[in-house]
A and B are shown apart, each in its own frame.
Chain A
Amino acid sequence: MNFLHLSSEIAARMNLISVLLRHNMAYLDPGSGSYLLQLLIAGLLGSLFVVKASWGRIKTFFRRLFSRRDNDSSDEE
């Protein structure tokens, strides 16, 4: 086992320990039910959020789409 291999091993373990330590800071019991519910509805919440955040762009897209159609039809006259 060379030095490089050993030091990367140590770094990995220290990283793991620091991640575990960080979790111990949350002294509060999140509650299993609360924890699992969040995971369950995560997908739905994420999608709703994305739609909400892009709502302005979605509206503008449809507005432009319909105004283009109107322009096309008026050109024919």
Chain B
Amino acid sequence: MTKSNQHLGASFRDPSGFLFLRNGLLYRQINHIYHENYQTLMDSGLYEELVHKHLLIPHEEVVLEAAESQQAYKIIQPELLQFISYPYEWCFSQLKDAALATLKIQKIAFNYRLSLKDCSAFNIQFHHGQPLLIDTLSFEIYQEGEPWVAYRQFCQHFLAPLALMAFRDVRLSALIRVHIDGIPLDLASHLLPIRTWFNFGLLSHIHLHAISQKRYADKTVDKSTITRRMSSTAFLGLVDSLETAVRGLRLKIQKTEWEDYYQEAHSYTSDGLQHKLQLVGEYIDRIQPNSLWDLGANVGLFSRLASDRGITTLSFDVDQNAVEQNYLASKEEGAADLLPLILDLTNPSPNLGWHNNERMSLFDRSSPDAVLALALVHHLAISNNVPLEWLADFFSSLGPWLVIELVPKSDPQVGRLLATREDIFPKYTQEGFELAFRERFDIQDATQIRDSERILYLMKKREDF
């Protein structure tokens, strides 16, 4: 591989082909070994149907010098995504929709005698608000009689985390970060409550599946001695059974302190809230960003000021339920420029996988033109003791523009945070805040929100530091 081609860190397991970058553009090389499957996908009509239904990323065949020319059959250029997100950053319904999309693709593929040969949750991405498959080389010609090769991966990547989130605790999605090839079924089985043994889908696909895996773990199975076959009806029955199991999973809604906050009753008068919305809207119009990150977005009230203007917007929050509400609302609205995601700013997802090079840390993936940090700073500076200079440093590393709200100590929210602890924050004042941020930013505007002590700032990163 020459220096001019950068082989993507996660694209190495499949001999069918791989992704690479050349001159900053993304391409996929298809190897000779895969050509029959690829042509069947393209010629049978499956490609058209899936693209039409927004279930597969469209691509174009290009004439290009291959990255590894000995094995190369064709090079394709897939349509670019607005942002790469990972399953451990998704809320429950995003993961559920990704699972259902995978099964839908499998059912449609079956009509063309094709089948998915893998079911990694990392093969699904949200594009214009909808989940779709980005791995064009995931299909293989269906062999009647053979069980589904991707069944294990589907159960580990999708069914197990969804079941854990629905039956135990929604925060267990974090396990996907630790087990990047899906949650081991014996772990899921141990963590799930007894009542899941009375759910047919979970009994078969998680509990019995885990037992079967353990039983045959160190035994070599000689396929040639097995006379039993899996008919195509049974194959479809398996997919149908998984779909029923996934559809039946629902979250028990958990209330946290954040949800109450954004009922908008507590922190602002209705006049104040309208004022804040108007100000943020004006700032966004001034900046004219192509992309925007709303940090601590809660249910995305302010994120929508950007996404409604057609700006590619990522709406981050640490609270799973807030992100869930945000996502469900965006689905109903058909919001194509908004992607809600889970993010703990005090512990963002790092580089993961082989050589820590398969899944990138959030800040390495892309950077926005503008950042919203509304009603956020006090949670970082007070609850998390992050010095204001470090906050300024952090925000300036993200992008050129910042809209940030200072919530002073006189505000009841901060009063609540300091209620049971010592006030060790002498610099947390308007002067201290502005001094710290002037190290990295030019303060272009500062306006106090009506009926409130909170101040909204528009800042631009300094060129000269």
In the complex where A37-B212, A41-B204 touch, is A25 in contact with B241 (Cβ < 8 A)? no
A35 contact set on B, CB distance < 8 A = 147, 221
A67 at the interface (CB under 8 A from B): no
Q: List A19-54 residues whose CB lies under 8 Å from chain B.
A: 19, 21-43, 45-50, 52
Interface size on B, residues (CB 8 A): 46
B233, A30: Cβ atoms closer than 8 Å: no
Give the docked Cα–Cα distance between A33 and B209 (Å): 7
**Does B208 sit at the interface, judged by CB under 8 A?**
yes
Query: Contact check: which of B118, B208, B213, B233 meets A28 at CB < 8 Å?
Result: B118
Given A25-B34, A25-B117, A27-B16, A46:B231 Cβ within 8 A: yes
B140 touching A31 by the CB < 8 A rule?
no
Which of B13, B212, B228 is in CB contact (< 8 Å) with A27?
B13
Residues of B within 8 A of A47 (CB): 237
A67 to chain B, nearest CB (A): 31
Give B139-158 as 1s and 0s: 1 = Cβ < 8 Å from A's Cβ atoms. 01101000111111101000
CA A1 – CA B431 in complex, angstroms?
98
Q: How far is the CB of B242 from chain A (nearest CB, A)?
A: 10
Q: In the complex, A61 Cα to B173 Cα: how many Å?
A: 46
The smallest beta-carbon distance between A57 and chain B, in angstroms, is 16
In whole Å, how far is A17's beta carbon from the nearest beta carbon of chain B?
Answer: 12
Q: Which chain A residues border B150 with CB–CB below 8 Å?
A: 28, 30
Segment 305-351 of B: residues with Cβ below 8 Å from A: none
Task: Decide if B191 is an interface residue (CB 8 Å cutoff).
Answer: no
B223 nearest CB across to chain A (Å): 8
* Residues of the B chain whose Cβ atoms lie less than 8 Å from the Cβ of A45: 234, 237-238, 240-241
A21 to B155 CA separation, bound complex (whole angstroms): 26
From B33, B212, B226, B234, contact of A25 by CB (8 A): B33
CB–CB A26/B238 < 8 A: no
A28 and B212 contacting across the interface, CB-CB below 8 Å: no
With known contacts A26-B117, A33-B212, A46–B37 Cβ distance under 8 A: no
A17 to B209, CA, bound (A): 32
B172-218, CB < 8 A from A:
204, 208-209, 211-217
- Cα separation A26 to B146 with both chains bound (whole Å): 12
Do A43 and B234 touch across chains, with their CB atoms under 8 A apart? yes
18 contacts between A and B (CB under 8 A): A22-B36, A22-B37, A23-B143, A25-B34, A25-B117, A26-B118, A28-B117, A32-B216, A34-B147, A34-B151, A34-B209, A35-B147, A37-B208, A37-B212, A39-B230, A41-B208, A42-B230, A50-B233
Residues on A close to B: CB < 8 A?
A: 18-19, 21-43, 45-50, 52
Q: Could you list which residues of chain B lie within 8 angstroms of chain A, going by C-beta atoms?
A: 13-16, 33-34, 36-37, 117-118, 140-141, 143, 147-153, 155, 204, 208-209, 211-217, 219-221, 226, 228-231, 233-234, 236-238, 240-241
